[in-house]
Every structure is written in structure tokens, then in C-alpha cells.
Structure 1
């Protein structure tokens, strides 16, 4: 009897273990293949940070652009060569004097709420954008935008502006077209309903956790080939889940396990591990450049000699190595545009980049009477490269006798905190290269971007570039602007940088020509 009971116990345990194994396999399948959830094909992206909001008119945060570009569209869109192409405007005409732009809208385009887009929605969106966005204010404060009929809008400029189409198609703080009634109800913090004409519509938004989007069934794509933000946008998955996963190791582990289909801003130290995983595809796109911005409105750095002292003191190659681990992901560069942007790439200012002259720095500090006062440097560990660069800057400046305190915040809090001119002296950030260098909102006094550039000389060059009669003339003026940048020093550019993003190998059609593009992406 004891022998029989032992056999029955073994059989019973075997059944239990088999059931547990089946359940584990089923759980793993559900983790790795989210098509099984309610029969939907879901693309899940682990995102590095939370956006400060979902109104793209207001914020310059790149993450807001990434979260909202599937929802909203613009009149004009940039292709992968940074050339403006039709999107909600099917065509346009420019007057001979360059002051009048007439846009013909596509007919029959629907918003997510079922309403057809017409001129009144475009005008309302434009008026709000010019009022609240740095980009709109700096380019179109004195322009008018009026409806000629339901599908024609006319922009009248006071003078030629060579940046017009680039500004209207810019991907940061962009001119998202929204229904007039939603725009009219917007408060100081922007719209609270997120309704656009894009290929995805909002399913659920939890500000600290995720944005879940679903396919917009009535979306009407263009027929032209997909190219950057332009051309055909095809939705090949039922839902797009943008999950906020601020811990980098969790993003890496989730990508490797298959919990996430894609993950952004992965640690540089994990590059080799991911690159050697046959189930992972790694992308290292150009990111733009990393920098620290001076508060030029209040405090120590309102004196240009203080800014110049910092610029003399730093070894920027050391800063880049501390932040990016390898020259594969960062490179010294003085220019305000990438070298491939040949129409504006200039050598002016190279003699004042990465000078590493500690004695000159000390001399300037003595001239202005620096006595060891605390310098507050805002930084966020949401971007480890920002933080690691700031630690290197802090250590280097200590050797010169400058007392730097790092104030560390989450990214959304930093964006809010930097609006207070009395609360900081420097902050760490990064910028993508713009399709036109004048779209760098930290250059223009009119934008009032935190740091508060106020240089009549730079403003004069900006105006000359905008109204230049030829590309060659604009390039020459930009060379003079870049020279003045290194005199005035609104910020210190560390160098050009790359990011690490990755997908599972079964993700097809992913494009990073300009940014994360989630349409035309399939999950096999």
C-alpha cells in the first residue's frame, strides 16, 4: 500500500508540474506575443521618460513630439532630406516677392472625432500656435493667416522669410492641426482633448504610466511614398502602446525577454550586449548635440566674462568621454549644424571651441571678482548622459575654483523649474539638429527660451538670414552669426552625439531618419 501511495504521489506531482509548466509557457507567450490580447496586434515601446504634456504647440520636449506625432499632423511635413512636402496641405503657391503663401487643403480629411478638417480648424490652430510657441512667435508674430474659403488659407508675411516652410513643418513644438472647438477651449496649459487627423487616435492616457493609441479607422493616407514624416502613413498594427519605463536596465531586460518590442535611449554600456543578440536590432542614429545652457538673465552668468571663463576652463573631450563612454557615440564639434548640412556648415568659432585654458579662465574669474559663490546646475538622471556630463563639468570647474552644486530632478520637474530665473545658473540638455539652424529657439531673443538669450547682434544676423536674397548670402550671414555665438556664448556645446535605440528582430519597417516613426511598422 505504501508503494502504491508513493506511485500515486509521484504521478500527482508530475501532473501539477506539467500544468505549471504549461501555464509558464502560456505566460511567456503572452509576454512575447501581445497579438493574443483580445485578438489585437499590439506594438509595445518602452520609453525612457514621460512627456511634460501632450500639447505639441507648447513644449519643446522631444518626447512630446514622439508621443504625439502619430496623433496630430501638420500642413507641411519634412522628408528624410529635410525638405518640406505636402501633408494636410496638398499644394501651395508662393508669391514672387516671397511674402504671400497660399495653401490648398486636402478635402475630406477627418479628425478622430469624425469632423472634417477645414480652414477654420487650420486658422484656429495656427493662431494658438503663434501665441504660445517660441517657434511661432519668432517667425510669424507679425504675419496674418486667413481663410479664403473652406479649403484655402493664405499667409501674409510683412517681408520675405526663407524659413517659412521649414518652420511650418518643424517637428519640435510643431504646428499640430486640431479641431477649432477644442482649440477654443484650451487653457494656459494647452488642450485637454487630444484629437488630430493622424493615423492613431488616443485610447488611454495616464500621464505617469503610458499612452495607449489605437488605429484610426477613417485615416486617409497620402499615396506618395513614405519618407521621413512625409508621404504615406500606413497603420500595420492595431494598437501602439508607449510605456513609460524610466529605469534603463528594465528597458533592456524587457527588450531582451520580449516584453517590449522596442526600447529607447538604452545605456551605452549595453551596446555590445545588444548588438550581439540575434533577436535584437540596434540603431545608433545621430541625436544632435549635448550642451549646458547659461542663465543670462539673472545671477553670475549674466556677465559674459563668466560664461567665457567656463568655456575656457573645460576639456570637452573629457566631458564627452564621461557621458558617452566611447567616441562611437560622441564627437567634438564646434558647429551649430552637422557637417552634412553643407549649406550652413561653417568654420567660424572653431578657435574658441574646447580651448582647455585654465589660466585664462582664472584670469577672467579674477576680473569679475568671483569669490566662491555657489553655482546651481540643474540636471536630470532621466538622461544619464546629461548627468554624467554634468559630473565631469562639476569636477573640472572645481579645479578652477568654481563651486558647482548639482540640483537633480526628474525631467518634467526640471522643465518646470528652469522657468524660474532665480532658481538656477546652468542646466543640462540636448537638442536635435534642426532642418534650418534658425529653428534653434535658444538662439533668438524673441523666443524667451529658458536661459534668455538677449543679443542684438545675433538677432540682427537672424533677420538678415531670414530675408537673404540667395542661399549663398544666407550662408555667409550664418557664418557671422556662428562667430558671434562664440563671443556671446548663450551655452556651451559639448559635441555631437548618438543615441541607442533597439527593436526585436521581428519588427519590420522601423524608420529613424528624423525621429521615432511608428506608422508603416509591422510586427511579424
Structure 2
């Protein structure tokens, strides 16, 4: 590497950024784009309200549930076991082989990130402490915390960091897109690691603070047996796996040796407080709600909160609901490589056939705001309103019919046909949660109203995505929750076609535009790049965006000091007590 002093600067104060490619004036608003420079624990990091508002799922701050949610105040007692209800089970507990939210809920408690983001968007020490950045912004060196152990007793070392990121770079992992132009990682000292990028990469800083997907793995156990590790993981986090009964529950037990620096909003002297946390699978809505009302579970997780039962939970004296604007967006994906949705005119017709208001009001009980791109309006460069005004896809069955006529599909009895072939599409859906299934069923009816025969097949949650990924179906309702606009890579990047890219969109120009957004350090340039990308892609109609969700977490009133990170929107259980 040569003499680092000739081309690097140790970041000890925000003013140290002046005169580098990462000048503070350029980075001051970077969190508004879902990114900020990672700073050492002695610093006030770059905050990022940026005027964007929203739920804070990106670095923009917002109205997420950052304060305590508790029923009646009081300190309460330390829970022997905190029981959480959800509709589905984890797929795997190795962050390099899954992006399933049911897995992330557990992994965020097992693994630690390199850096910690507090509730105001400031960054401080995690597994890493101090950073050096070269003038070009392409080489980052991090000093690591010493004396931290994995759950199995092995020491956390620079070799584990190198292994984790090399595996992410070299394994055909679902999250490889998130490290962007990272070209390598090497240990450059006993407790130091250097990351090298082909060009500047704005989102990486924020990703480094997200332990659920970007936590550090131990080399030994993973190399010994990857499949076994995915079922019995080892991390450095606040909890370790005690038991996983597939389809029933995952139980974590407190890591008594946890010493990784954590967010200052965690106030307990010796966190985490709950001795055990159990994720209980309750697939059906009413039994899930009843388990909360009866006290069998303590928290009903937001992802599977049944909107129609909101008043039931709010009105019961023993329970309450914490309602917040999420960073979760729902959209109808069209397979652009499978007939007949390989025809853009057909895709546009199907988009016009979808009644968003009916879905939001009737199925989701009004707990959502109409959207026109498939990610939250809280992210930098969101172009939803301009997409609405300039491109459209408003609900219009007459327009849908006209477009199908133009495509040569004319009415032939109940359904349309062309050259003797009936216009038929295949819809794939998960079989849980119920609103997802109801949305798919409503789409069958909506498409029939414009003469399109739709055949719906439902599968177990993870299987549904695998089936749609085969590329043999046409339509699937998907959701995505993320905190950086680089999620467009996940949604539209060619390398992700058939995986997270449910539209099977493969376009070199789109890929270049995605890269332009990810490598733009100046927030205004990054915003413009993402804006232009959305306008181009939505003209191609890869999907019909539906809404950004409002969500609710159900809580027993006995639950005290439950918090939710306002930027990452991850639950924080570390201070939870029970007042009973």
C-alpha cells in the first residue's frame, strides 16, 4: 500500500473532511441520500434530516417510532422471556443466502455491524472504531475493536471481517449488489482492515451499520459447514441461538458476554435485559391477535399486524398499538421476459387495470399512501409524483381495454384472444399474510374486468419467490423495505433478474444509471441520477406500484421501554421490561 500518510486522512472531527473527496460540505446531507461518512466514536457524525421527512428508513430521519412505546410507564421487571408473534418462519440465518425479512428479524440480534447508527443518524463505534479514508474516497481503513468474542468463544479478528466481505464479493449472494464497486478487502494490521473500491460508493457507509444483513461472520464455523451454519449461526451480537423448531419458533438467549459498543439510546447499564426472546410462528390472523390479547405473546410484530384488527387491539385495556409510517412499499411486478407480459403495451394495460384505492382501502383498511414507484417516498430522489403526472398508469379500465386492443388482444366472449389464443397470465402469491393473498385474488378479478384470464397459484412464503424466480409466471405482488435509494439495484439490476428483480428487467443503460446514482457523492447529483433512472424505467412499466405502508406494532400494555430505530426501522428490545 505504500506510505498511507501520503494519501489518507484520519477522520477525528467533521472538519477533517475538508479538502478531501469526502469534504464535509458534500457529505453534510448525504444521509438524506441514505448515506453518511462513518466516524469514530469520539465524533458527532453527519446527521441527515435533509428536509426529506418520512419514516427514516433511509438516512433521512423522519417519523418512525424512535421513542419508547409502552403502555403505562414504570420500570418493570426483567423479562425471563419476551415472546414475539409473526406469521412466518425464517428461511435461513446466514445473511449471505437470504434476504427474507423473517430471517432478518432474527439475524439483527445475532450479528453485530461494523459501525453503530444512533437514532439521530450519527455514527459511532461498533465492531470497528476509527476510520481512515484516502483522498479519492476509494480506500477505507478501519481499526477494529479488540477483546470481542463470538458466541462460540472464538475471538473476533480482522480475518473474520476479510472473510465476511470476500464471501459476499465472491459468493453468488443476494446482497452482493449492496457492496457496489467494492473490489477487495485485506487485513492491513493486527486489528485493521482496508476496503478498496473501484470508485466512490455512497451507500456503503450506511450499510455497514446494519447488522441484520451486513454483520460479521466467523470464518471457522462457516467454512466448516455452510448449511449447518445457516441453521445454527454464530455471531457477536446481543443474543445467541438456543433453539429453532422449523415452522414453530426460534428462541434466542441473552449473550452474557456481549461487549460491542451500541447505540446511546440503549440506556440499560448491562443490556440486553430480556433473558430470552422467542419468535413464535402463528400463521393465521385471528389466533395471532388472540395470542396478544390473552397475554400469550408480548409483541405482535409490525410486518404481520392485521390492519383490520387495529381498533380491537387499541380498544382492549391490556394491549396497545404503535402506528408508524413504514419504509415498506408494495408493488405488482410484471415479468418482462415471459409472454404475454413481455409486451410493454400489455404491461401498461394491466397497470391501468389495477385499482390501487380498492386495495388500500378494502384490504389494508386505509393504512397506506398511494405510490407511483416501487419504493418509499422517503428516499432521496423519489420521483413518484412526476411519474404519476408524466407517465401515469392511473386506474382506468377503458384505457386498459384500448391498449389491449392495440396489442391485438380483442374480446372473444368473456376473455380476449389473438390468433385463436386466449389472453392468459399466471399470478404467483405467497400464502401469508392474508392481505397479500387477498391482493392477489383481487388482481384476478381486476384483470378479468378487462378481459384477461388470470390463474392464481399460492405457495409457502419462501417457495413463492423461488417459483416466480423460475421465470415461468407473469405477475407477483412484491414488497420491499429499505433505507437507501440504492435499492433500485435490488429492484432493477440485471444481475438480480429472477431473484430480487421480480420484473426480470435486464438493460445495460439502466445498469449504468444505477451505478451513476450509487457512485455520486454529491447529494444533488445522486438525487438527479436516481430521478432520471425512475423516469426511464417506469416508462418501461416493469411494475405497478401500489403504496407505502403504514404499519403498527401490537404491544401488551405491560411491555415497557420498547423502541424502534427511526432510520433502520428495526425493533430495539434491549431495554424492555414487563410492568406486571
* TM-score (normalised: structure 1): 0.85
Question: Aligned with 2:516: secondary structure?
Answer: helix
Question: Aligned with 1:418: secondary structure?
Answer: helix
Matches within 5 A, 1:408-447: 408-422=458-472, 424-438=473-487, 441-447=490-496
1:124 aligns with 2:155: no
1:256 aligns with 2:259: no
The answer to whether the Cα contact below 8 Å between 1:74 and 1:168 also exists between their aligned partners in 2 is yes
Q: 2:508 aligns with which of 446, 450, 456?
A: 456
Matches within 5 A, 1:14-25: none
CA–CA separation in structure 1 for the residues paired with 2:122 and 2:356 = 33
1:169 aligns with 2:224: no
Task: Tell me by how many angstroms 1:258 deviates.
Answer: 0.9
Cα separation, partners in 2 of 1:56 and 1:330, compared to 1, 3 Å: same
1:45 aligns with 2:84: yes
| 1:146-192 deviation per Cα after TM superposition (whole angstroms, max 9, x unaligned) | 111231111111111112212333466x1221111122134479734
Q: 2:368 aligns with which of 293, 310, 330?
A: 330
1:406 aligns with 2:446: no
What residue is the counterpart of 1:290 in the other structure? 330
The answer to whether the Cα contact below 8 Å between 2:330 and 2:480 also exists between their aligned partners in 1 is yes
Task: Tell me by how many angstroms 1:118 deviates.
Answer: 0.3
CA–CA separation in structure 1 for the residues paired with 2:271 and 2:352 = 51
Task: Tell me by how many angstroms 1:81 deviates.
Answer: 5.0
Question: Aligned with 1:160: secondary structure?
Answer: coil
1:516 aligns with 2:571: yes
CA–CA separation in structure 2 for the residues paired with 1:426 and 1:302 = 11
Q: Which structure: larger Rg? A: 1
What residue is the counterpart of 1:210 in the other structure? 249
| 1:56-77 deviation per Cα after TM superposition (whole angstroms, max 9, x unaligned) | 2221211111022111122134
Structure holding more helix per residue: 1
1:506 aligns with 2:558: yes
CA–CA separation in structure 1 for the residues paired with 2:98 and 2:122 = 23
CA–CA separation in structure 2 for the residues paired with 1:144 and 1:304 = 39
Question: Aligned with 1:442: secondary structure?
Answer: helix
The answer to whether the Cα contact below 8 Å between 2:113 and 2:211 also exists between their aligned partners in 1 is no
Structure 2 unaligned residues grouped into runs of 5+: 1-75, 410-416
Q: 2:173 aligns with which of 117, 129, 133?
A: 133
Question: Aligned with 1:214: secondary structure?
Answer: strand
Task: Tell me by how many angstroms 1:274 deviates.
Answer: 0.8
The answer to whether the Cα contact below 8 Å between 1:311 and 1:492 also exists between their aligned partners in 2 is yes
What residue is the counterpart of 2:519 in the other structure? 467
Task: Tell me by how many angstroms 1:341 deviates.
Answer: 4.2
Cα separation, partners in 2 of 1:142 and 1:238, compared to 1, 3 Å: closer
Cα separation, partners in 2 of 1:356 and 1:247, compared to 1, 3 Å: closer
Cα separation, partners in 2 of 1:45 and 1:192, compared to 1, 3 Å: closer
CA–CA separation in structure 1 for the residues paired with 2:228 and 2:332 = 26
1:93 aligns with 2:143: no
Q: CA RMSD in A?
A: 2.7
The answer to whether the Cα contact below 8 Å between 1:210 and 1:241 also exists between their aligned partners in 2 is yes
Cα separation, partners in 2 of 1:83 and 1:118, compared to 1, 3 Å: same
CA–CA separation in structure 2 for the residues paired with 1:421 and 1:83 = 42
**Greater RCO structure (CA 8 Å; 6+ sep):** 2
The answer to whether the Cα contact below 8 Å between 2:91 and 2:103 also exists between their aligned partners in 1 is yes
Question: Aligned with 2:331: secondary structure?
Answer: strand
CA–CA separation in structure 1 for the residues paired with 2:469 and 2:227 = 15
Q: 1:185 aligns with which of 185, 208, 224?
A: 224
CA–CA separation in structure 1 for the residues paired with 2:425 and 2:347 = 12
Deviates more, 1:369-378 or 1:58-67: 369-378
What residue is the counterpart of 2:23 in the other structure? none
The answer to whether the Cα contact below 8 Å between 2:292 and 2:299 also exists between their aligned partners in 1 is yes
Task: Tell me by how many angstroms 1:299 deviates.
Answer: 2.9
CA–CA separation in structure 2 for the residues paired with 1:75 and 1:223 = 11
Cα separation, partners in 2 of 1:78 and 1:378, compared to 1, 3 Å: farther
| 1:386-419 deviation per Cα after TM superposition (whole angstroms, max 9, x unaligned) | 1222222221111111111111122122133223
1:236 aligns with 2:291: no
Task: Tell me by how many angstroms 1:340 deviates.
Answer: 4.3
Question: Aligned with 1:356: secondary structure?
Answer: coil
What residue is the counterpart of 1:22 in the other structure? none
Structure 1 unaligned residues grouped into runs of 5+: 1-34
* TM-score (normalised: structure 2): 0.77
What residue is the counterpart of 1:5 in the other structure? none
1:111 aligns with 2:166: no
What residue is the counterpart of 1:359 in the other structure? 398
Task: Tell me by how many angstroms 1:374 deviates.
Answer: 2.5
What residue is the counterpart of 2:65 in the other structure? none
CA–CA separation in structure 2 for the residues paired with 1:150 and 1:112 = 21
